[in-house]
Every structure is written in structure tokens, then in C-alpha cells.
Structure 1
Amino acid sequence: MEAYLLIDFGSTYTKVTAIDLEGEVVLGTAQASTTIETDVRVGLDEALRLLQVASGLSLGDYAGKYACSSAAGGLKMVSIGLVPSLTLEAARRAALGAGAKVIGSYGYELSSAQAAEIEAMTCDIVMLAGGTNGGNKDVIRHNADKLAQTGIACPILVCGNTAVQDEIARKLEASGKKVYLADNVLPEVDQVRVESAQSVIREIFVKHITKAKGLEYAAKFIGRDIIPTPKASLNAASLIAEGSKHEPGMGSILVLEIGGATINVHSVEEVKPVTPQTIVRGLPENKVKRTVEGDLGIRWNANTICELVGAETIMDNLRKVAPDIDVDSVDPATFTSFLARNTSHKPETPAEWAFDIALAYSAADVAVRRHAGTARKETVAIGEVDVQRGKNLLDVRNVIGIGGIFRYGQHPERILPAAAYDLKNPESLRPVHPNFYLDTTYVLYAVGLLSQDHPDQALRIAKKYLRPVDVATALPVSGGYANRGSSLGEMEHGGCGGLMAH
């Protein structure tokens, strides 16, 4: 046996998993409350104690250890760019792809009030972009001046017009700022280059943020760098989709990660138009994409979800996922307010369990709609044309649900159809006929961590422990999604073959 210890320092819980790499099996899992505000070792020690009971392994039995973290809010970044739809969006993509949570985005010239607002934020990195190479220099210079006048203490990553990067770095360093440089995230109007910026973000995370968040001991304990938890999830998604040197992947993938504070959506799919004749507009998409919805967490943002989708929609979804529940006894506004005030609440009655699933379904529908692209007809000089904006996910083969509700919720598989194509919203380019899976053992983060050095074994473990579900039989009534029997052609011609009928 060759045992490995995988740790995820989450915002709420520290999760630990023991894996036999040689046998490619999970030996045990456990979790305890994260104690980042006092001493991270307290929560870790309790989780390890519970893991020893579950697996029978002591610390001396592990051949290696890996860890990721989203504790203390994870890796929080502010992005500053020029045009919101261009350089600012490119900067956001770089941040999200590196596992960060973007807590503020600013376009054009910063005002003094906006600079003060950024200073007041508890962010870990400020990303300063703006201008293509050889393009606008004035805005990024102006914004650097504004930042230099603040008391911002976190590192500033400059990844804009390369013609002025050195000048800007000198100005910021003269004001006492710690500055890092990376390649321009938007070197030309139609090119997005995020790899350099993401590499520097990871460097900053290791050098500065691990220590700042009280994880220095944890890094010494595992003997290697800690990575952001979303980055581990992205690593896992890429591995599962694309495969490793000796193990084939499962094909394109969408990962729906539902938490109490945010919903993360990851996709790995080739970039392509819906049809060869479709006109694609906007910034080029990336094969590997991540979006974070900070207003859709099913605890902290329960009120926001209710306001966003409407109480009537939540009730419709409640009837969909739990037709046997007496819906007249449920008031969405009252219960979402309760959840927002009691973020650690766990459902206690069948009605509460059902409402939790309906709330997650409602939030997931919005999150995936924001992540996916759209296709619609637009009128131009020559007549009507099909115009696509964003990423085409119609052909995505696999959808995976991860997060606490997928592990502990009752009938969590009923959430998954929210990620799929819906005839009620036909412009949204969501998966048409995916296979559905649940991560009921929190294996995905462990797979992402192991993939750094052991991709073949990590992939086989993922295939073994991701639980396939048949949502067509799990959902009592119509979910409005396209199952594996349907085709895009049927949808285009208004047919309903293969779709669940009311």
C-alpha cells in the first residue's frame, strides 16, 4: 500500500482524504471545522484524528501529502482594466483561472473614491491591466498613480501594455508597493493571453498569501506548496476531460460546484461556433474556463437568490424536485431570510430538505446560464444572421455536481438538470445530452491535487468514485432539460423527442 494524505482547508471545514495510490482506492475521509482565525492546526488535528479512526492510518503511514485552501475567503483579487469588455474581462479571466475570487472589478480611469474603495477591501492581490501592446498608455498610467497614492499593502500585479510596465513598476515601488510583472493579458484586441499572469498569481500565493492566512504551518506540515482549492478543481476537471499520458479522459466536462457563499462553474470544452455559419463576437473564449458567482451561495446569498429568480420560480422548482411536499406550508422569502441569518443551518424536515434542493436548482440555473454562451438571431445589413457570444457548451459530454449539498442533500441529483439545455431558454448554449455524475466522497479536490505528480492514478480514481446518476428517473416531473435521447436537430425544428414530457 502507498498511502497519500490530501487536505482541503475550506472556509468552513477542513476536509481530509486518505488514498491508497497503489490500489487506487479511497481509504477514508473526514472533516472538522476550519480554525483559520485562531490556529489552523486545531481543526487539522481534529480532522486527522477522525481520519485515523476511519482509515486506521497514522501520520507516519503516508508516503506523501498535498493540500489546497480556500480558507479566510480564499484568494481574493481586485481587477483593474481599460474597456470592461476587453482588458478588464481578460484580467478577470486570468484571475479566475488561477483559482482567485474577484471581489472587485474597475474599468477606465479610477476615481479617488474608487481607489479608496479598493484600499478598504481586504484583497490579496490587485491586478492592474489596461491597453493592448502599443495601444493606450494613459489609462494604466493614471490608475497606477491612483494606486500609488493609497495605502494598499497587498502585492500589485501589472499585466497591461508592456510599453509602460517598467515605468509603472518604478512608480508603484517608489510608493512602497510590492510589484510583480506579467505578460499583457490582452496583447491584441482579439487575443487573450492569461498563462503568464496566472503563473505569477500562483507565485504570489505561495510567497505571501499562505503566510498571511495562517497556513505557513500547514505548508511546512505537508512539505510542499499549498494551491488554491479552485485551482485543484480546475486541475481535476482538465484531467478528467483530457486524460493523462496512459489513461484516456472522459471527454468534455462541466463541473457545478455549489457552496454556501459562492457557486463555481468549471468547463473544459473545445472553443467552437454553434455552426460554421455562426458569427462569433466578443473576446475569444478559453478551452478551460471558470466562473465564480459570489451572489448565488445557497446560504450567505439565499435572500439574493430569491430576489434574483423570484419566489414563484423557486416554488415552481420546489414542485419539480419534490411534488409530494405540501408547498402551501412554505414561504420562500421567510425561509431564505432564515438561511441567510443562519448560514450553518442543516435541514431538519423533509420540506426543508426539498427547499434546499429547489434553492440550489434555482441558483445553479442562473450560474450555468452566466457561464455558458448565447446564440441568437440579429439583423444586419444583409438580413438576419446567427450571432454567438461566449462559450458553446452544447456538446459537453459530462456534468459533475460537487459541494456539500451533493454529498449530504436528499436527492441532490435533482439539481443537475439545471445545468442542461432548456427549451424555455433556448438561446443559452448549455449541454444538450450530458451524462451526469455526483462527487459524493469529495474526491475531486483530491484528484486535482494528486494530478500534479500522479495523473494516471488520479484519473482512474476519479472514474472509480464519481457516481453516475440517471436524472431522467431521479426527477419526479419534467426538468425541462434534454436527456441523452434528444438531439440539437430536434430542438432546432421544435420537436420534443427525447425530452421529458409534462
Structure 2
Amino acid sequence: MTVPPPGDPDSPAVCLDVGSSWTKAVLVLPDGTPAGFAEHPTTPDVDEGVDAAVAAAAASAGRAGGPTPPVLACSSAGGPLRLAVVGAERLTTVEAGHRVCRSAGARVVGVHTGPLEGRAVRELAAQEPGAVLLLGGPDGEDPGVLLHNAGRLARTRGRWSVLLAVDASARADALELLRAGGRTVRSCPNPTPRPGEIVPGPVRDAVAELYARQAPGARPRRPGERARTRTPVAVADGARALARLTGTGVLVVDVGSATTGVHGCVPDGGGFPAEAVMTVEGDLGVRDGAAGVLVEGQTEGLVDPVEADLLGPAVAALATSGAAVPADRGAAAEDRRLAAVAAVVALRRHLRHTGRIDPAGPGGRDIGLVVLTGGVFRQRDPAGLAAVAATVRRDPALMTALAQVDVEVDSESVLAPAGLLAAHGRERAAGVLLAERLLG
């Protein structure tokens, strides 16, 4: 039997989301009704987990053994962009590295300062970065350390690219050294032009582009399948569909195992923009990103020292647990608390980044709905999920911007599937799915 094309609105479809810990599959009927759901731990061979999740979703809908419906897939299995930072002076290098990663989908996995020598080079290689940010210090500084490091990076094994963010006067020599070793290099303005000053914007944009180009981890395998859509893109499509459906500005917070993204779709005067504004926090997640949630929660004043001590053992375990399901009600409550903190920190950063932290600022009065989504919210605990929504709604730093805003929890994980449906010509089904399973 011929598999219907993904855009055929008269056929059911499996909406597949391959995450860094879990692979989720939802079978959606042509009218937008979800008929089956399944999840499976994401496997090293991604296809194994995909096949298991798709088969289980079909079986849960009573379609086991029948023809495979078309699969609309997205993936964030690559996790955040792993960034190693190399610079001359430690304090400035650490701060610059973390600031260029913020809201750009990256996580600092190592900081190396001074001239790179054998041990530091081996440590950098062991960190398996996706990219290396090479800094050179303030403008006009002696380029000796920079050029030494460029030469060592050129000779070091690894498939990572280099973001060269240095003084223009030293850029040409550093570029020549790196390219002589076969490195892929992108040149950026110096984020530390003067002592004590950090200008992260241009480098952050370059980091965000590298994150956006990461392979999503899901490959098309079946006739009619259109995989390789990144999960942030699917969620952004869902945010746009939700904004059109409600007629108001929407903020969607997607809390994952390794990253937390925020997608804002706000009217621009002539209707909703074609693209949602997206920020992705590579240091916030509820599994291997849990340590970052605890650190940033304390930095932002959301987690006090007593709570940090109480959550510490759980965070340490979650950071290496992979696709773990909470073992009891206490563990489920810890998951919800970490998810709430991740959502608040990510929203604060997004609103600062976009200038909407002030309700009188651009778009500030146009936000009418916040949606919290992600597998962590599939818990069947209405009171616990309501407490998470209340944490977001009552956060002191968000109250001015979100005082009159509804906060909904996507407990059935329909936001990303709705985005996949909308992107493949199934707008009516996407609208029904959101209206009945999220807003209903």
C-alpha cells in the first residue's frame, strides 16, 4: 500500500519528536484527534528508538500490524552546542564565554586560558566541543598568546570549527594559522574590546547560527517521511499556530532534558510576524542540564541555599540519569520544581533579550498567553502542574510583563505535534488539536 504524503490532510499521521532523552510519538487523526501516544528512550542508534515509538503509538491506537502512517518528525537529540573557550585572561574569558552562550543554544564545556600546552590541549580534545571560541583580549594587546593558541588549535585533532573573536589588527595572522591547519573558521568582532567591557551580541549571533545548523539526529527513512526538522522549529510553528488561533501574543517555554527554549510570537502591528522570536538556553534542562538549573536558580534568587542543599543530590543524579522516569511522588515533585525554575530563568532571559521585560516596551502589552511544554509536564498531577504555572505567573521579575497573562501547561505534549501538522499543510488538524487538548 502506498504511504500517503505528509501533507495529505485526509490521512492520519505520526508526529515524532526525538529528544536527547526521550523519543515521543503521537498518532493524530485527520480531524486533529490524538488517537495514540508512546514514548521510548532515545537510543544511540536513533532509528531503533524511532521504530519502537512509532510502532507503540500505532498499537495504542489499535493499528498494530497495519500500514505505517506518514511520519512528521523533529529532533533536538543533538542537545546544546558544546562550546570550549580559549583566551588569555581567565576572569574575562569565563564571563565572555558564558555571555555569548546565553540564549544562543550553547553550553560552555571548558575554559582554557594562557598559552595552550600539551595537557590543556588534551583536556580540550577530551571535552569534545562542537566549536571553539578563540579570544585574544582587549584591542591592541600583544597578540603573542593568541597566535600561539591559534597555531596549537590548528594542529589539534578534532572536527570542531573555530569562532575567532579578536582584535582586527591580529585577525589576519590568526586566520592564516588556523586555515593552514584545515580548520573551518568564522571571524567575529572582538567581544572584549576594552578591559572590563564585554560586547557579546555579534558573537552570540554566530553561536546561535552554529547551534541552528547542528544535525537534528533524525533522518528520513520511510516513503513520505520528512524528518530533519529541528524541534525548536516545530515548537515555533506551534507557537504561530496558537497565536493565530487565540488572536493574541504567545510565549511558549519548551523545557527539555538538555535545553530550554522560549518562542515568542507577538503582533507587529500588521498581524503576526512570519517568524517567531526564539531563544534557547543550553545550560538549562531537567536531566543533563539540571546542574545549570540549580546554579542559575540561585544566581537569579529563585532558589535559596536551604533548597539548593535539598535539591543537590537529586540534581547530581539527574545529570547522569538519561531517560529516567520519576520513581515516586517526591521525585516527580523535584522534576516539577526544576522545570519551574528552568522556565522562569528562560523567560527572564528571553524578555531581557527581546526588550519585553518592561510591559511598556515593544510588544510588552501584546502577550496574552504563556504555554509551558516539554515531556516533564506529562505528569498526571493537576495540582502539581498548577503550582508550576503559579510559580511562573507570580515571579516578581515577570509580573510586570505578564501580570494579566494566562499560563497554561501542555500536559498532553501537543504543541510540537501541532507545529509539525501546520508545517505540512494540516492547519485545520493543528488548530483542533490545540483548541481541544491545550485550550479546552
| Shared fold, TM over 0.5 | yes
Segments of structure 1 that go 5 or more residues without pairing to the other structure are 272-285, 316-330, 375-385, 470-502
1:152-202 deviation digits (Å, cap 9, x = unpaired): 22344668899998876664342133x26589799x979759888766655
Q: 1:310: which partner in 2?
A: 304
What is the Cα-based RMSD across aligned positions, in Å?
A: 5.1
Q: 2:108: which partner in 1?
A: 103
Is 1:45 the counterpart of 2:51 in the alignment?
A: yes
3-state SS, counterpart of residue 74 of structure 1: coil
Q: Separation in 1 of the partners of 2:318 and 2:207? A: 38
Tell whether the 8 Å contact from 1:130 to 1:161 is kept in structure 2 after alignment.
yes
TM-score normalised per structure 2: 0.68
Is 1:74 the counterpart of 2:79 in the alignment?
A: yes
The correspondence for 2:15, drawn from 6, 16, 28, is: 6
Q: Using the aligned pairs only, state the percent identity.
A: 22
Q: 1:33: which partner in 2?
A: 41
Q: How does 1:315-394 map to 2 (within 5 A)?
A: 344-349=324-329, 353-354=332-333, 356-373=335-352
Q: Separation in 1 of the partners of 2:99 and 2:93? A: 9
| Distance 1:356-1:15 versus aligned 2 partners, 3 A rule | closer
1:101-142 deviation digits (Å, cap 9, x = unpaired): 4334869x87527765543322334466999xx999969877
Q: 1:24: which partner in 2?
A: 32
Q: Separation in 2 of the partners of 1:299 and 1:232? A: 22
Q: Separation in 1 of the partners of 2:170 and 2:98? A: 20
Q: How far did residue 50 of structure 1 move?
A: 1.1
The correspondence for 1:441, drawn from 391, 412, 428, is: 412
Letter in 2 for 1:55: A
Q: Separation in 2 of the partners of 1:314 and 1:197? A: 30
Higher relative contact order (CA 8 A, sep 6+): 2
| Distance 1:260-1:161 versus aligned 2 partners, 3 A rule | same
Q: How does 1:417-496 map to 2 (within 5 A)?
A: 417-422=390-395, 425=396, 430-454=401-425, 456-457=427-428, 459-461=430-432, 463-468=434-439
Q: How far did residue 53 of structure 1 move?
A: 1.3
TM-score normalised per structure 1: 0.61
| Distance 1:115-1:467 versus aligned 2 partners, 3 A rule | same
Tell whether the 8 Å contact from 1:296 to 1:304 is kept in structure 2 after alignment.
yes
Q: 1:219: which partner in 2?
A: 220
Segments of structure 2 that go 5 or more residues without pairing to the other structure are 1-9, 194-198, 269-274
| Distance 1:393-1:77 versus aligned 2 partners, 3 A rule | farther
Tell whether the 8 Å contact from 2:293 to 2:338 is kept in structure 1 after alignment.
no
Q: 2:369: which partner in 1?
A: 398
Q: Separation in 2 of the partners of 1:460 and 1:355? A: 33
Q: 1:279: which partner in 2?
A: none
Q: How far did residue 231 of structure 1 move?
A: 3.5
Tell whether the 8 Å contact from 1:19 to 1:28 is kept in structure 2 after alignment.
yes
Q: 1:413: which partner in 2?
A: 386
Tell whether the 8 Å contact from 2:287 to 2:320 is kept in structure 1 after alignment.
no
Q: How far did residue 148 of structure 1 move?
A: 1.5
Tell whether the 8 Å contact from 2:98 to 2:108 is kept in structure 1 after alignment.
no
Tell whether the 8 Å contact from 1:394 to 1:421 is kept in structure 2 after alignment.
no
Q: 1:172: which partner in 2?
A: 178
Q: Separation in 2 of the partners of 1:34 and 1:387? A: 40
Q: How far did residue 400 of structure 1 move?
A: 0.7
Q: Separation in 1 of the partners of 2:140 and 2:386? A: 49
